[in-house]
Chains A and B, each alone.
Chain A
Amino acid sequence: MSGLWDLLTILFVSMGVFFFVAGTVGLLRFPDSLTRLHALTKADNLGLGLIVLGLLPRVESPQDALKLLLVWALVLVASANSSQLIARKVRREES
Chain B
Amino acid sequence: MTGDLIFCAGLVLLILGLAAFVVAARQPFPAVVGFVVFGLLVSIAWMCLAAPDVALTEAAIGGGVTGALLLVASAKLGDPSKRGQKMKLARGFHVLVILLCIAVSAGLIAVVLSLPERAPTLALVALDPLESTGVKNPVTAVLLAYRALDTLLETVVVLLAMVGVWSLAKDSDWAKKPAFGYSPERGGPLGLLASLLIPVGVMFCVYMVWTGSDHPGGKFQGAAILAAMGILGLVAGITSVPAVTNARLRWVLILGPTVFLVAGLMGFASAGYFLAWPPEFSKAVIVLIEVALTPSLALMLGLLVAGPPRHSSQL
Contact = CB atoms under 8 A, between A and B. Distances in A.
B189 interface: yes
Interface string B64-93: 000000000000000000000000000000
Interface stretch (B46-54, B192-200, B252-260, B305-313): B192-200
B194 to A, nearest CB: 9
Interface in B188-226: 188-190, 192-193, 196-197, 200
Contacts of A85: 189-190
Contacts of A74: 197, 200
Interface residues of A, number: 8
Considering residues A80, A81, A85, which has the most beta carbons from chain B within 10 angstroms of its beta carbon? A81
A4 interface: no
Contacts of A80: 189
Contacts of B192: 81
Interface string A72-95: 001001101100110010000000
Nearest to B191: A81
B196 A77 contact: yes
A84 B193 CA distance: 11
Nearest to B189: A84
B189 A77 contact: no
Contacts of B190: 81, 85
Contacts of A77: 193, 196-197
Interface in A21-59: none
Contacts of A81: 189-190, 192-193
A78 B197 CA distance: 9
A59 B310 CA distance: 51
A74 B188 CA distance: 18
Nearest to A84: B189
Contacts of A78: 193, 197
B4 to A, nearest CB: 17
Contacts of B189: 80-81, 84-85, 88
A80 B190 CA distance: 11
A21 to B, nearest CB: 15
A74 B196 CA distance: 9
A60 B201 CA distance: 25
A28 to B, nearest CB: 15
A23 to B, nearest CB: 16
B85 to A, nearest CB: 24
A88 B197 CA distance: 20
Interface string B155-188: 0000000000000000000000000000000001
A80 B196 CA distance: 12
Contacts of B188: 84, 88
B135 to A, nearest CB: 22
Contacts of B196: 77
Nearest to B185: A88
A78 B200 CA distance: 13
A84 B185 CA distance: 13
Contacts of B200: 74
A6 B197 CA distance: 34
> What are the 8 A-B residue pairs with the smallest beta carbon separation, nearest first?
A84-B189, A81-B193, A81-B189, A85-B189, A77-B196, A81-B192, A77-B193, A77-B197
18 contacts: A74-B197, A74-B200, A77-B193, A77-B196, A77-B197, A78-B193, A78-B197, A80-B189, A81-B189, A81-B190, A81-B192, A81-B193, A84-B188, A84-B189, A85-B189, A85-B190, A88-B188, A88-B189
Given A78-B193, A81-B189, A88-B189, 12 more contacts: A74-B197, A74-B200, A77-B193, A77-B196, A80-B189, A81-B190, A81-B193, A84-B188, A84-B189, A85-B189, A85-B190, A88-B188
